[in-house]
Amino acid sequence: MSDRRRLTRRRALGLTAGLALAPSFAAPARAFSATPGPTATLSAYPKGQRPLLLTVLTEDSLSPAERTLATTLQGLLARRGSETLYLNIPSLGYQIWLDDLVSRYGVRTRPGDLWKTVSRSGVGGYVLFRTGTPSVNVATTLAGLTGAVAIEESLEALAIRNGLRKVLDVRDKDDRWVVDNYWPRLRHDVAIEQRGDWPERLRDYVTMAGTLAFFDGNSAFRAEVVDALDDDATVIGWGDASDGEDKFIGPNSDAGVKALPADHARNLSVLSGIQENRLSQSGGGGGRALEPEPDVHYVSFLITDGDNIQWMLGDFPTDKRWFGSPLRGQVDLGWGISPSLIDLAPSVMRWYYDQSVKDRWVVGPSGGGYMYPSRYPAGALEKHTASLATSMERSDLSVVQIIDFDSFQDKRLWSSYLKRPQIDGLIYLEYSRYDAHKGKVVWSEGKPVISARTMLWDGLDGADEASVIAELNSATRNPSSTAGYSIVLWHAWSKSVDNVMTVVNGLAPHVKIIPPDTLVKMVGQYAQH
């Protein structure tokens, strides 16, 4: 931080200002006990309290400034539970999650008025910020520390008329000022990376969790913030990927920190308030190993980008390209999912499992969050895989996708994952291209690390439907050999279930489609190594 003292994990520095947290909006504990008693499960993430009544506001009915007010209020109310807010986008999955909260969990809803909700809330103060400056992240962060809401300067007069008093004016402040002054009072296991020009996304969770919201591109300041986080901490949101996502995922990994893509996510403070200690997958034959048939080649189709929280909450369940496809359920399909959902949005994970027909789920890259395992410090990786194994057991997941650079043969690296009994195997994707290793398998702890054999990806050589059909139909027909199995990665942003079905319809009778976790179990049990 230029000439300032450097932040490190071992010495978190800062000048603590004397802000008092409103007692009724006390910050959540670092780990939340989902149920009382000896069987309680500790959450890997801060969670809101269970909602009983939701005042539902349609997001597009609010101005940008009102959305920031609404989401910081939502985060504060989620600490108390009982009554809180829900920002709905009826065209996306948020209507599904709202309906599910009502039908399955008995949550009541009512339409509401934002300012009347402010008046009923008991919140007495506001932090003043200015649109177009970093102060929106400053105000969101300090809302969580003060129990005040974030008010954009255009709403200040209205806020005063509604009985709010100014706690802080941060219009000329930035993320560096927050870190210099409040770092010891913020969480160090979770931080939120969010652009200042998005007024509502993720802001409820920042305020509820009492964590830092920041955005500074791929700067030295960003690197110091990430390095100051705990081993295996999580940065929720997304960084500056204009020159490639590796420009921030790489430094994260070097610091022993993972990322959860979620910068467009809404309502996590509410969705995290639901408790599910364990969930079970219902589709795809239970992911069991099949008795192999002779003279057969087995193949699994698996989508990319399963670590993307915002996508899972948004249009993934409704869009016909993906889970909303009318063709879904005709064949076994593999989907990626983040095990963090068991804590951040367990009702959402349960809904996906319940809706699965011939669908099976594996962990998205590269476990508990997106990182490059080969660049993770050894101690942080051990912490990561131990936590990952616990969340996988709770989520009924047994296979992990990995994205990394030139690490496929590193058996000692994969041991950290595969020594965990909850993990049956890994699916390895070379950063570019994913299918660089053409289906080869390496073994660690007696378990397989299987590389993608081929891809469906628009614009890449050999990744079109005709090429994939030809490669699968001519592949080895011997389930006693690792060559008798193929994983096809299909690119979420350029291909769809329709494209997968084109390949399926072109396969020869000797090519059998199975779920990816079944394939991993069969390779581990039947393929020679």
**What pLDDT, on a 0 to 100 scale, did the predictor assign at position 27?**
61
**What pLDDT, on a 0 to 100 scale, did the predictor assign at position 2?**
34
Q: How confident is the model at residue 190 (pLDDT cuts 50, 70, 90)?
A: very high
Instruction: Please report the beta strands in 393-477, taking only residues with DSSP state E, as ranges in sequence order.
Output: 399-404, 425-430, 441-444, 447-451, 454-456
DSSP code for 267: -
DSSP code for 50: P
d(CA 378, CA 412): 11
pLDDT at 37 over 70: no
pLDDT at 364 over 50: yes
d(CA 415, CA 435): 22
Average pLDDT, the chain: 92
pLDDT at 31 over 70: no
8 A C-beta contact, residue 225 and residue 290: no
**What pLDDT, on a 0 to 100 scale, did the predictor assign at position 28?**
56
Rounded percentage of the chain residues whose pLDDT exceeds 90: 89
8 A C-beta contact, residue 128 and residue 168: yes
Structure token digits, residue 378: 């050894």
Pick from 52, 29, 356: nearest CA to 209:
29
DSSP code for 47: -
**What pLDDT, on a 0 to 100 scale, did the predictor assign at position 284?**
74
User: pLDDT, tens digit, for every residue of 38-85?
Assistant: 344 578 999 999 999 999 999 999 999 999 999 999 999 999 988 999
CA distances from 224 to 14, 182, 201, 384 (A): 13, 15, 24, 21
8 A C-beta contact, residue 108 and residue 52: yes
Stretch 474-491: mean pLDDT: 98
Say which residues have a Cβ less than 8 Å from residue 324's Cβ, sequence separation at least 6. Answer: 315, 316, 317, 318
**What pLDDT, on a 0 to 100 scale, did the predictor assign at position 41?**
59
Structure token digits, residue 102: 């009502």
Q: How confident is the model at residue 282 (pLDDT cuts 50, 70, 90)?
A: confident
Asked whether the CA dihedral 249, 251, 256, 259 is positive or negative, the reply is negative
**What pLDDT, on a 0 to 100 scale, did the predictor assign at position 7?**
42
Q: How confident is the model at residue 26 (pLDDT cuts 50, 70, 90)?
A: low
User: pLDDT, tens digit, for every residue of 403-428?
Assistant: 999 999 999 999 999 999 999 999 99
Half-sphere exposure of 223 (CA within 13 A, CB side): 9
Helix (H) or strand (E) holding 254: helix 246-254
**What pLDDT, on a 0 to 100 scale, did the predictor assign at position 162?**
96
What is the rounded radius of gyration, in angstroms, for the C-alpha atoms of the chain? 24
**What pLDDT, on a 0 to 100 scale, did the predictor assign at position 312?**
98
Can you give 189-253 as a three-state secondary structure string? CEEEECCCCCCCCCHHHHHHHCCCEECECECHHHHHHHHHCCCCEEEEECCCCCCCCHHHHHHHH
Residue of 69 and 6 predicted with greater confidence: 69
pLDDT at 32 over 70: no
Enumerate domains of the chain plus CATH numbers. 53-272 (no CATH), 297-526 (3.20.20.490)
pLDDT at 20 over 80: no
**What pLDDT, on a 0 to 100 scale, did the predictor assign at position 25?**
62
Rounded to the nearest 10°, the torsion over CA 2, 222, 127, 60 is: 150
Tell me whether residue 329 is exposed, middle or buried, using C-beta atoms within 10 angstroms of its C-beta: 0 to 12, 13 to 18, 19 or more.
middle
**What pLDDT, on a 0 to 100 scale, did the predictor assign at position 92?**
96
Q: Which amino acid appears at position 3 of this protein?
A: D
d(CA 303, CA 493): 10
Q: How confident is the model at residue 283 (pLDDT cuts 50, 70, 90)?
A: confident
Half-sphere exposure of 40 (CA within 13 A, CB side): 11
Please list the alpha-helical segments (H only) found in 305-462: 309-313, 341-344, 346-355, 378-395, 411-418
**What pLDDT, on a 0 to 100 scale, did the predictor assign at position 39?**
40
For residue 125, the cross-strand partners are 165
8 A C-beta contact, residue 210 and residue 28: yes
pLDDT at 5 over 50: no
Stretch 498-523: mean pLDDT: 98
Stretch 444-472: mean pLDDT: 98
Stretch 341-367: mean pLDDT: 97
Helix (H) or strand (E) holding 80: helix 64-80
Stretch 133-153: mean pLDDT: 98
Half-sphere exposure of 508 (CA within 13 A, CB side): 16
Q: How confident is the model at residue 9 (pLDDT cuts 50, 70, 90)?
A: very low
DSSP code for 283: S
Asked whether the CA dihedral 457, 458, 461, 464 is positive or negative, the reply is positive
Helix-, strand-, coil-residue percentages of the chain, each rounded to 5: 35, 20, 45
Q: How many CB atoms lie within 10 A of CB 179?
A: 23
For residue 108, the cross-strand partners are 53
Q: How many CB atoms lie within 10 A of CB 82?
A: 11
